[in-house]
Chains A and B, each alone.
Chain A
């Protein structure tokens, strides 16, 4: 028996419209639409003009370059900045390496959009208003990413097990970076009280994300569990935490916790904040994962049981991988909102990106520069959140590749 592909089932030709035809179809298809288009474009242009005029003439940007080190690392001692640069180098190299390893199957690593992205970031780094040495370091960071990606791709093709080693490297690098930043063991101690700016934002966000993920998965499984105590505990925890605003949890950690502890005991403030963020996010994450778990057909579990897998294996090998894949968009959404929630740490007196901005804005030299500073940190937050969102979409595409 032979199969023939009927020509009629070919996908319809994609109609390529010229720019004028496109405009006509999308913006000026009728009188009312034309008027709407013109009015909205006029409003937008007017707004844009006002914005550009403000950015180029009214705004006084000197507050940003003069305080850039503060925005990045807070009150970290200037003669120890080299430690941050080393940590930055480790992270960029590893990021490049992981990218290369993950993309080892793709036909072309440096496709056009990627090249444009690299070029744009090089131009950006070259224009950043920092001393030439720092600019060189930033460019070196980009170079490390590119080199790491190339090496990772080449090595990843030869050694299929490299992925696991990269995971291990990330795991080890976490402690190395923590040691570089915090000191101890041959390095001068830098009190966590002096950590700040974007560095503190990233530390708080990344540690909380890494910790809340396993906690959230365990809670989600607990809520589905057939053991009543485990189930009740999970439900109680999730519903309790989801009923309290994050700021209340953070305040409890910063203000009330010291009252319960013995007078001598003192828990690091950053650690308290991270625990608060983790406890909070774990509850929400658990609900996201539960959504994924419930979407897995019962047949999957039954088939796994029929094959003789016990419960941990069924969950770990069959149910969870599929459930997590389904819930990636929701999980990443949760991570992005966790990243933004770190701004609440400013309210409890930690000098992360938003908190340090408050202290910089209180400098009589820069009074009233709110718009410039908040626009600047807004862009930083956007860059990180958008990166996470792109990464999640790539991950989704890669994991779904087999299903399409």
Chain B
């Protein structure tokens, strides 16, 4: 009899556990929100009615998305999610972050599991085109690209200064090809020192085996902080390849794409207007009609997007302008200290340029 009782128990246990799991699933769904495509409307309406943005992030890229000591997601990519949430709901914390692997990020977006990606995704034709991945790329929030790290006391400031020097590089990557092409283009002779493994390459660089170390800038900056004396190294202000990284939304949903796109542009425009987290309140009293329209004091720019008119006030109050986001996460104000370079405003010789808010 006892044996039967325990057998029965085991059976009911398995059934009940399944039921419990589907319960947990239901509650999660109730909170997380339904997916858009079912209603046939725009994702914008879905997100608004859900009251929460579901944002796909990587979760493991230093300075871009990580979990900070307070147990909150943080980083440049994360701040973009917060900006969109602030524009929609006036609350930067109305975001559910979903860590996505690079293999599943596009299916998660296409399947409606996430509303947008803010996950170091390079904008390429095949990812944008309907015949390829069929996605929509909002303006890049970080122009990454291959950079060069040198010792501060070496006196090297440009690639031309590297003539006759040796450069550490990982073999078998596009990095190696880019380096060779670029150096040949400017006619500089150098000695490549190739490594199979990234750790070995950085260790050799730290030991002084080569004068330069090349890789993607964001990676170089992160690795720099792990070298024995980070302050002895710096990144040159050169970019040898194109890696435009930005938020991504699903194809054929212009209203939602426009929202994400213009919030991103708004961050850049705010920096151009010199509106910061600190002065956004007084800027609303500005006489400048462009700024008054931008902050929603006049006109109906927000309404045209389906957002509150003061959406940019909410965004800037929550995360600041693009320059502030950059400095706080990856720039001078952070450990990574990546030079602004291409990520400066166009007025400073960079690529950050917002079409007019009119």
Contacts and interface: CB of A to CB of B under 8 A. Distances in A.
> For chain B, which range describes its interface: under 10, 10 to 19, 20 to 34, or 35 or more residues?
35 or more
Interface of B: 2-7, 9-14, 16-18, 20-25, 27-32, 34-35, 37-38, 59-63, 65-69, 71-75, 96-101, 103-104, 107-108, 111-113, 222, 225-226, 334-336
A233 B319 CA distance: 57
A349 B7 CA distance: 36
4 interchain residue pairs of minimum CB distance: A368-B226, A362-B66, A264-B38, A258-B111
Interface residues of A, number: 62
B7 A316 contact: yes
Contacts of A321: 3
A321 B3 CA distance: 9
B27 A254 contact: no
Contact of B27 (A70, A183, A355): A183
24 contacts: A178-B20, A210-B13, A211-B14, A211-B17, A214-B13, A255-B103, A255-B108, A258-B107, A258-B108, A263-B38, A263-B111, A316-B7, A347-B101, A348-B101, A349-B99, A349-B101, A351-B59, A355-B99, A356-B67, A358-B60, A362-B65, A362-B66, A364-B62, A368-B226
B17 A193 contact: no
Contact of A365 (B28, B32, B335): B335
A358 B111 CA distance: 26
A164 interface: yes
Interface string A166-188: 01100100110010001110000
B13 A317 contact: no
A271 B22 contact: yes
A373 to B, nearest CB: 12
Given A70-B71, A349-B98, A264 B34 contact: yes
Nearest to B335: A364
A237 interface: no
B13 A207 contact: no
Nearest to B11: A214
Given A193-B32, A211-B14, A348-B104, A365 B69 contact: yes
Given A175-B20, A316-B7, A364-B225, A191 B62 contact: no
B24 A362 contact: no
B20 A359 contact: no
B67 A214 contact: no
Contact of A316 (B4, B34, B111, B334): B4
